[in-house]
Chains A and B, each alone.
Chain A
Amino acid sequence: MGCAASIPDKSSGRSGGLNNLENGGAPDAKNLRVKLVLLGDSGVGKSCIVLRFVRGQFDPTSKVTVGASFLSQTIALQDSTTVKFEIWDTAGQERYAALAPLYYRGAAVAVIVYDITSPESFTKAQYWVKELQKHGSPDIVMALVGNKADLQDSREVPAQVSVKSVNVLICFMSVHFHLFSGLNRYICKIVIGSSMILHFMLYFEGRD
C-alpha cells in the first residue's frame, strides 16, 4: 500500500492503548473524545492506515480483520486541547456488513477507504457514503481515501473520479465547519481534529 515510505511523522505521541483511561464522564472542553470509524471493502488497507496513524507502524503482510478492532490515538492541538480518537477499524468482509451500524452509530468521523486499483472497492465506498448519509449521524464527517497510491501503474479508479469525490467531501466538511464553528465549540473541535485526520489520509492520495 501507498503509505510505505516517507510519511511525515504527524502521528507521533502514541497514546498507550492499554492503560489509556476511559474518562467516561462528560465531555470536557480540553480533552475531547471522537469516535472514528473506518469503512470500506476488504483488502483496501484500512488496518494499515490505522496502524500507521496510531502506532506509526507499517506491516506489509496482510492480516484480515475479524469483526472490528478498537484502537485509540490522542492528538494535541495547538491550544493544548487534546483530541482522543477512538477508532473502530471494521472488517471489510460482506458477512460483517450488517454489523457496521454497531460501529458507526454515534461516530463523528467516518473514513471510507477504497483501493485505487479496484473499481469494486470504489463502488463499495460509494455504497458506504450513501449508507452513512441515510443512517449515520447527521453531523458525521466523511473522508474518502484512495489507498495504495504506490500502485499508480495499475490504477483502475480514474484519479479525476476520486479527486472529485474527495473534493465533494472536503466541501462537505467545510460546510460543516462553517456551520458549527460559531455555534458549538465541541463539534468545531471534532471537525478540526478530523480535518487533521483527513489531511493525513489525503496524503496518500496526494502523492500521485
Chain B
Amino acid sequence: MSSSSPSISSDDEPNSNPKPIDGELSLASVTLNESNGNGSVSVNKNENNRQDGGGEIAWGRKISEVEVEAPSSPSSSGYVGERGSSSETTNSRIEDDEIQQVDNDDGFVDGVNHSRASSWVPGKRHVDEDDASISWRKRKKHFFILSHSGKPIYSRYGDEHKLAGFSATLQAIISFVENGGDHVKLVRAGNHQVIFLVKGPIYLVCISCTEEPYESLKGQLELIYGQMILILTKSVNRCFDKNPKFDMTPLLGGTDVVFSSLIHSFSWNPATFLHAYTCLPLAYATRQAAGAILQDVADSGVLFALLMCKNKVISLVGAQKASLHPDDMLLLSNFVMSSESFRTSECFSPICLPRYNPMAFLYAYVHYFDDDTYLMLLTTSSDAFYHLKDCRIRIETVLLKSNVLSEVQRSLLEGGMRVEDLPLDPLPRSSLSHRMSQQRLLTDSPERFRESSVGIGGPAGLWNFIYRSIYLDQYVSSEFSSPINSHQQQKRLYRAYQKLYSSMHEKGIGPHRTQFRRDENYVLLCWVTPDFELYAAFDPLADKALAIKTCNRVCQWVKDVENEIFLQGASPFSCATDKAEFAALMLESYL
C-alpha cells in the first residue's frame, strides 16, 4: 500500500514552516485522501522512498485481516536492516499477539489486576526465580546489568546470584563478537529481541518480546546505566581496572526499588523517551514566586535548586552556567521518589548527575514538604548540610507565605490539560487559565468539566496528545481520559508514541515532518518542526482532515496557556557547564 499523495512537499524548507504557535499552520493546508478502508499511512520525509515497497506501515483495521494484509511489523524503526529471518507473516502475527501480550504484560507478572497504575509497588519481585523457571522465561521484558567478566550486577527478575550462568552466557556472546573486532547491538530470536549496550566494563542487556523499537529499548538501557551512575559515579570502572572479577552487587545494595521504579516508568512516563521534562500546571505568578526564592538560594552557593511535585517540575534554578539535562532530572527524581527514606526526614546524600559530570558526586539535600512536593538542593560541598537546611527553611517560609504549596496541591487535584477542554475556536488567552479561574469558583466539582464528553473522547475523537517544546526541553501531555483509562491502555498508547518517536527520529533519514498512521487501536498523528513536536492519538475512525485541524487547535491551545504549563526563562540548557568546582569524591577511595 503506498502512501497517499503527500501534500506537504518534501522540499519544504523547515524554516518556511510557520512557527507552530503563530496562527495558521502548514498542516492545515494539507489535503489528504484516505486511499482505502484498510487504513493508510502517509509519511512525509525529507527524503522519500527509503522504505522498500513504499508503504510505511499499514495495519489492517480488522483484526481478522491483520495476518493477511498487514505487510510488516513497525518497520520504521532503526533495526530494519538488522532484522533476522522472521518473515513478514510471522511478524504480523506477532503484532497480533503483541496486542494481547501487552494487555497481559506485567499484569501476568504481578498477578494484580490491570487498573493498578497507582497500586504499583516498587521493588524486586520473583526473587525465587532463575533462568530455569518457566515463569522467568515467560517474562516479557528482562533487564540485566553484568560486568565484563560475566558477573551479574542487576536483574529485573530473579536472584542475581542464581543467574550467574545466564550472565556468563550473555557475556560470552558479547565478547565473542568483540573478539572479532565488532560490536553486537541486537539479536532477534523469534519474537524476542536481545539488545546489548556496552559501557566500558559494564554490560547492559534487554531481552524483550514487546516489539518496542531498537532505539527505544537502547534508550531504556542508557537510562538504566545512567541510574547506576547516579548512585555510584563512573569511577566504579576503576574497581574493574584493579580487579576484573570485582563483584559490584554489594555496592548497589538496597537499590532494587530505584531500578524497578525506573523500569516501571518506561511504561508510563513519556520523559523516558522524549528526553524532556514536564511541569506542574501553575499560574504564572505562583511559579514566579517559587522561582524567585529558589534563585535567591542558588545565588548563595547552591548548584541546582529543584522544587518538584511527583515527576513534575514546579520550578528549578541552576547556578550560573550550570545546566541540568532532562535525563538527569528524570533519574534524580526517580531516585528520590523511589527511596522511601527521603519521606521520613530531611536527608543529605551523595548523588551523581551522569549528564553533568559522570565522574564526581554532588551532594543532594532532599526534603519533602508534603506527600508529593519535595525540594532538592544540590551542591558540590560535602559540608553544606546546615547551610542547605537553612536555605530550605527560608524557602519553606516563602512558599507557605505565598501559598505555593496549596496551589500545588490544587493543581495536582485538578490535573493538567484535558482533551475535552480543547477550545473550539482558538481564543487568545483562554482555556487552561480560564478553566482554572472557573474552577476556582467551583472548586468542589472538578468532575463537572469532564462529564460532557465521557465516552466520546473529546473533539473530533482526540484521545490524547503530547506536545514537546524543543527550545524549552519540556513537554506537556494531556491527562488520560476515556477510552484510555486503564494502565494497560495507557502503556499501549505510550508504546505507540515511542514507536512513532523513534520512527520520526531515525538516524540517517533526518527528521520527518509529519506522519499519519492508522491501525485498529488509534489514529496517530505526529508532526515535527524545528520548534516543537506534537504527538496525538485519535479514535481509529477519526477523519484525517479533522484530525489535522484538531492538531492545529491543540498547538494554539498550548501557545495560549504556555505561561502556565511551561517553566519559562529557566536557565538555558546550554552545554557549557562549569565543572571546575566538583567535589572529587571518587568511589575508589572507599573500596
Binding site for B on A (CB under 8 A): 17-19, 22, 42, 47, 51, 61, 63-71, 89, 91, 93-99, 102
* A68 surroundings in chain B (CB, below 8 A): 347-349
| Interchain CA distance A42-B251 in the complex, whole Å | 12
- The stretch of B105-113, B336-344, B520-528, B549-557 in contact with A is B336-344
Q: Is the CB of B347 within 8 A of A93?
A: no
Q: Is the CB of A64 within 8 A of B385?
A: no
* B254 surroundings in chain A (CB, below 8 A): 42, 64, 91, 93
Q: Is the CB of A47 within 8 A of B344?
A: yes
| Interchain CA distance A68-B232 in the complex, whole Å | 16
* B346 surroundings in chain A (CB, below 8 A): 17, 69-70
* A70 surroundings in chain B (CB, below 8 A): 345-348, 385, 389
Q: Is the CB of A69 within 8 A of B341?
A: yes
Tell me, rounded to whole Å, the shortest Cβ–Cβ distance linking A102 to chain B. 6
**Partner among B232, B255, B349, B589 whose Cβ is within 8 Å of the Cβ of A67:** B349
Cβ-based interface call for B508 (8 A)? no
**Partner among A19, A67, A98 whose Cβ is within 8 Å of the Cβ of B348:** A67
Q: A63-B340, A64-B340, A67-B350 are in contact. List 6 more A-B contacts (CB 8 A).
A: A19-B393, A22-B386, A47-B341, A66-B339, A95-B232, A99-B350
Cβ-based interface call for B250 (8 A)? yes
| Interchain CA distance A69-B349 in the complex, whole Å | 8
**Partner among A69, A94, A98 whose Cβ is within 8 Å of the Cβ of B345:** A69
* A63 surroundings in chain B (CB, below 8 A): 339-341, 344
Cβ-based interface call for B297 (8 A)? no
Q: Is the CB of B253 within 8 A of A71?
A: no
Cβ-based interface call for B472 (8 A)? no
| Interchain CA distance A47-B254 in the complex, whole Å | 14
Which residues of B370-401 have CB atoms within 8 Å of chain A's CB atoms?
382-383, 385-386, 389-390, 393, 396
Cβ-based interface call for B587 (8 A)? yes
- A65 closest partner in B (C-beta): B341
| Interchain CA distance A63-B253 in the complex, whole Å | 13
Tell me, rounded to whole Å, the shortest Cβ–Cβ distance linking B344 to chain A. 6
Known A-B contacts A22-B386, A68-B349; the reply to A94 vs B251 at CB < 8 A is yes
- A97 closest partner in B (C-beta): B590
* A42 surroundings in chain B (CB, below 8 A): 253-254
* B251 surroundings in chain A (CB, below 8 A): 93-95
Cβ-based interface call for B1 (8 A)? no
* A51 surroundings in chain B (CB, below 8 A): 344
Tell me, rounded to whole Å, the shortest Cβ–Cβ distance linking A130 to chain B. 16
* B342 surroundings in chain A (CB, below 8 A): 66
Q: Is the CB of B231 within 8 A of A95?
A: yes
* A95 surroundings in chain B (CB, below 8 A): 231-232, 251-253, 587, 590
* B231 surroundings in chain A (CB, below 8 A): 95
* B341 surroundings in chain A (CB, below 8 A): 47, 63-66, 69
Cβ-based interface call for B202 (8 A)? no
Tell me, rounded to whole Å, the shortest Cβ–Cβ distance linking A55 to chain B. 9
- A99 closest partner in B (C-beta): B350
* B349 surroundings in chain A (CB, below 8 A): 66-68, 91
Known A-B contacts A70-B348, A95-B587; the reply to A64 vs B339 at CB < 8 A is yes
* A91 surroundings in chain B (CB, below 8 A): 254, 349
Known A-B contacts A70-B385, A95-B251, A102-B382; the reply to A17 vs B345 at CB < 8 A is yes
Tell me, rounded to whole Å, the shortest Cβ–Cβ distance linking B232 to chain A. 6
- B364 closest partner in A (C-beta): A67
- A89 closest partner in B (C-beta): B345
**Partner among B250, B344, B382, B390 whose Cβ is within 8 Å of the Cβ of A69:** B344
Q: Is the CB of B347 within 8 A of A98?
A: no
| Interchain CA distance A195-B141 in the complex, whole Å | 53
A-B contact pairs, 24 of them (CB 8 A): A17-B346, A19-B393, A22-B386, A22-B389, A51-B344, A61-B340, A63-B339, A64-B339, A64-B340, A64-B341, A66-B335, A68-B349, A69-B345, A89-B345, A91-B254, A94-B250, A94-B253, A95-B253, A95-B587, A96-B350, A98-B587, A98-B590, A99-B590, A102-B383
* B250 surroundings in chain A (CB, below 8 A): 93-94
- A96 closest partner in B (C-beta): B350
Q: Among A61, A66, A69, A96, which residue has the most Cβ atoms of chain B within 10 A?
A: A66
Q: Is the CB of B390 within 8 A of A22?
A: yes
- A72 closest partner in B (C-beta): B345
| Interchain CA distance A18-B382 in the complex, whole Å | 22
Tell me, rounded to whole Å, the shortest Cβ–Cβ distance linking B333 to chain A. 14
Cβ-based interface call for B257 (8 A)? yes
**Partner among B257, B335, B339, B589 whose Cβ is within 8 Å of the Cβ of A98:** B589
What 10 A-B pairs have minimum CB-CB distances, sorted nearest first?
Answer: A67-B349, A98-B590, A64-B254, A63-B340, A69-B345, A65-B341, A66-B339, A93-B253, A63-B341, A66-B349
- B231 closest partner in A (C-beta): A95
- B390 closest partner in A (C-beta): A22
* B386 surroundings in chain A (CB, below 8 A): 22
Cβ-based interface call for B585 (8 A)? yes
| Interchain CA distance A65-B253 in the complex, whole Å | 11
* B390 surroundings in chain A (CB, below 8 A): 22
Tell me, rounded to whole Å, the shortest Cβ–Cβ distance linking B582 to chain A. 16
Which residues of B228-286 have CB atoms within 8 Å of chain A's CB atoms?
231-232, 250-255, 257
| Interchain CA distance A71-B385 in the complex, whole Å | 13
- A41 closest partner in B (C-beta): B253
Which residues of B162-210 have CB atoms within 8 Å of chain A's CB atoms?
none
| Interchain CA distance A111-B45 in the complex, whole Å | 66
| Interchain CA distance A179-B232 in the complex, whole Å | 43
* B253 surroundings in chain A (CB, below 8 A): 42, 93-95
- B385 closest partner in A (C-beta): A70
| Interchain CA distance A99-B363 in the complex, whole Å | 11
| Interchain CA distance A47-B348 in the complex, whole Å | 15
Known A-B contacts A63-B341, A64-B339, A95-B587; the reply to A69 vs B257 at CB < 8 A is no
| Interchain CA distance A93-B256 in the complex, whole Å | 13
